[in-house]
Amino acid sequence: MVSRPVNNPANVSSLRRMASICFLLLGAGFAIGAPQQEPELAPEVLAAQQKRVEAMRKASMATVGVFGMDSQGGGSGVCISPDGYVLTNFHVSSPFGHRMRCGMNDGKMYEAVVAGIDPTGDLAVLKMYGRDDFPTATIGDSDRVRVGQWCFAAGNPFVLATNLQPTVTYGLISGVRRYQYPSGTILEYSDCIQTDASINPGNSGGPLFNADGELIGINGRCSFEKRGRVNVGVGYAISIKQAMNFYGNLRSGRIVDHATLGFTVATDTQGRVVVSNILESSDAYRRGLRYGDEVLRLGDRDISTSNQLKNVLGIFPDYWRVELRYRNEQGVQEAAIRLQSLHQPGELEKIVEGSSEQGPKRSGEAKPTASKDSLAEKYESRRGFGNYYFNRSELDRIVKLQESRKPTLPTSGPDDSLQVRFVGSVIGESTAVEARFDPEKIHWTLADKNSSVTVKGSSGKGGWGPWIQNQDPLPISIAMRLWYQWHEQGPRKLGEVIYIGQSPVLGKQGLLDMTRVVLGEVTAEVYTSISSGDIELIELFTDRQTDPAEVYFDYDAASPMAPMPSRVRLNYGLESRLVVEWLKLDTLPVEKTEDVPGGQP
């Protein structure tokens, strides 16, 4: 007899559990063996990634690797104009001398020369040759940069870009408006941007972009000295605002200088930023600032600490005029003050020469001989200049611009025997005005008062200086003669001419070209429109300790004087002294007289 298992409920339950476990394990085995699908990314994530990739691709096209003439060594830069102007650091360009090579994302190496240098702010401008359609960076607004925003740096760290493709590193804005102390009086980083995007040796001079691929800074210092030459997430970039403030001056080929206010400040017991010392020769003093006054604002920045004032000052070139707001016993005052040079004449050149001799040497520093150098003609050595060739080049641009709009003038040269006469009247009055000049004399008539100076009286006894220092209206005639000769003969025939760069002018939009003309004891600074070449302002200086005569020019296409100026305004300091409307231009025979200049002020 065959025995049969007992139908025990406990055994049945156990068998069922075992069967369930086997089924689950079998199913799991099938699941493990089956191919897994990648999780789908949200469309907005993919869109953000693609935007970042495209921004980096475009930005990389304008990134430049800077090398010595033997293609060794290396730093970085960024191209900002289709004709090949590059922003970089002074400490990147200086070891290479005036000649270097620049590599771009297209895999090609381009010959380059230094244009202008800013040792104080650690900036330099190079000029590449070989194309007239170089890819350029889009200039951003560094004033809008905030802590926590994404950014990325591009460049050539550790000379990794052997194929000239830049390295791109991503990070955050860690700080804004930082200050890094200078080495003596050079390599000062003011109002700079701090980032944790990796910036290593070789990144110097390269671009810092915001998340949209807009240029917001020029990478420079990192915290290497104290922490070894490796990135520790603390890098600094010169703001693009500062770089573009200096860019026009750097294209002049000069060794450009930074500014000083002519006064110092301290924090008082109430936490106010007050004037602690002031030079009576400073423009700030002439505008009314005094010891103990509270400084409230400089430029477009409110001032709440002494360090903040120094930080803001560093973004401006010398000779610029900036708005100053301060509080004295009479209340809140506002004035535009003219900045002074940080260094004494010749001092900066000596510092640069010393830093070049003591600075690091690179294998690419050797300069090619003129017979082998294809860009030998693009460099001219002259004291006070990084490359004087570019000063001549910028002056050529201004001459070409004004020649295209040259008005028809009644005389043809300095030997003409005619006297040129501008006839007009004082605005709002019937008072007659004449500005006349001939090859020997400059005359001024206001109502029944006549004054004159000799053309050669710009220096020595009976010169133009006393008329300017005594704030007389006769300098209007001097300025009109200068305007006339500028168009008749060209700037180079007027005296010793130097193109300074670009500068703001009160009441005018944007920046203007500024050219300095030395006329004996008087220096004229001529401001012309970048687009039209029209003379907008002529300033006549006897020195930097007194106010110049400022003659502003207005143009009216509907005026019978067009395209010549229809009116002029004479200012001393910030005060308008006289506004004249010109009605006609004609000529008179020169009166041969033996009288000496009369009407001394």
CA 341 centroid distance within chain: 15
HEC readout, 66-119:
EECCCCCCCEEEEECCCCCEEEECHHHHHHHCCEEEEEECCCCEEEEEEEEEEC
H or E segment at 313?
A: helix 306-313
439-465 pLDDT, tens per residue?
A: 889 999 999 999 999 987 665 566 899
Residue 552 has a CB neighbour count (10 Å cut-off) of 23
Beta bridge partners of 296: none
Burial label for 328, CB within 10 Å (0-12, 13-18, 19+), is middle
Q: What is the CA radius of gyration of the chain?
A: 33
Report how far residue 79's alpha carbon sits from residue 346's, in angstroms, rounded to the nearest whole number.
Answer: 31
In the three-class reduction of DSSP (H, G, I as helix; E, B as strand; rest coil), residue 309 is classed as helix
Report how far residue 124's alpha carbon sits from residue 35's, in angstroms, rounded to the nearest whole number.
Answer: 57
Nearest Cα to Cα of residue 551 among 536, 541, 562, 565: 536
Enter the CATH code of domain 46-255. 2.40.10.120
Report pLDDT for 164.
Answer: 86
Q: Terminus-to-terminus CA distance in the chain, angstroms?
A: 150
Amino acid present at 542: T
Which of 60, 93, 174, 204 is labelled catalytic?
204
Report pLDDT for 230.
Answer: 60
In the three-class reduction of DSSP (H, G, I as helix; E, B as strand; rest coil), residue 420 is classed as strand
Pick the CATH number of 418-589 from 2.40.50, 2.50.20, 1.10.1760, 1.10.12: 2.50.20
CA 590 centroid distance within chain: 46
| pLDDT, averaged across the chain | 87
Nearest Cα to Cα of residue 580 among 479, 469, 454, 463: 479
In 104-139, which positions are buried (b, 16+ CB within 10 angstroms) versus exposed (e)?
Answer: bbeeebbbbbbbbbbbbbbbbbbbbeeeeebbbbee
Report pLDDT for 362.
Answer: 45
Q: Do domains 46-255 and 259-341 have the same CATH topology?
A: no
Please tell us whether the domain made up of 259-341 is placed in CATH 2.60.130.10: no
Nearest Cα to Cα of residue 134 among 92, 87, 90: 87
**Sequence ranges of the domains in the chain:** 46-255, 259-341, 418-589
Contact 452, 598 (CB under 8 A): yes
> How, if at all, do strands 63-67 and 75-79 pair?
antiparallel
Report how far residue 174's alpha carbon sits from residue 147's, in angstroms, rounded to the nearest whole number.
Answer: 5
HEC readout, 235-248:
EEEEEHHHHHHHHH
Report how far residue 104's alpha carbon sits from residue 98's, in angstroms, rounded to the nearest whole number.
Answer: 19
Which regions of the chain are under pLDDT 50? 1-6, 12, 15, 19, 21-26, 28-30, 225-227, 358-370, 594-597
396 is catalytic: no
> How, if at all, do strands 138-139 and 214-222 pair?
parallel
Beta bridge partners of 443: 436, 452
> How, if at all, do strands 432-437 and 441-446 pair?
antiparallel
Nearest Cα to Cα of residue 445 among 599, 264, 283: 599
HEC readout, 509-566:
CCEEEEEEEEECCEEEEEEECCCCCCEEEEEEECCCCCCCEEEEEECCCCCCCCCCCC
Residue 64 has a CB neighbour count (10 Å cut-off) of 32
Q: ω into residue 475 within 30 of 0, thus cis?
A: no
pTM, 2 dp? 0.88
98 is catalytic: no
Which of 122, 191, 438, 547 is labelled catalytic?
122
The two tokens of residue 96 are 């290479």
Which of 91, 343, 443, 487 is labelled catalytic?
91
Sequence-separated (6 or more) residues with CB below 8 Å from residue 380: 387, 388, 389, 392
Report pLDDT for 583.
Answer: 95
Query: At 229, phi and psi to the nearest 5?
Result: -85, 55
71-98 pLDDT, tens per residue?
A: 777 899 999 999 999 999 999 999 999 9
Contact 256, 116 (CB under 8 A): yes
The two tokens of residue 325 are 């707001």
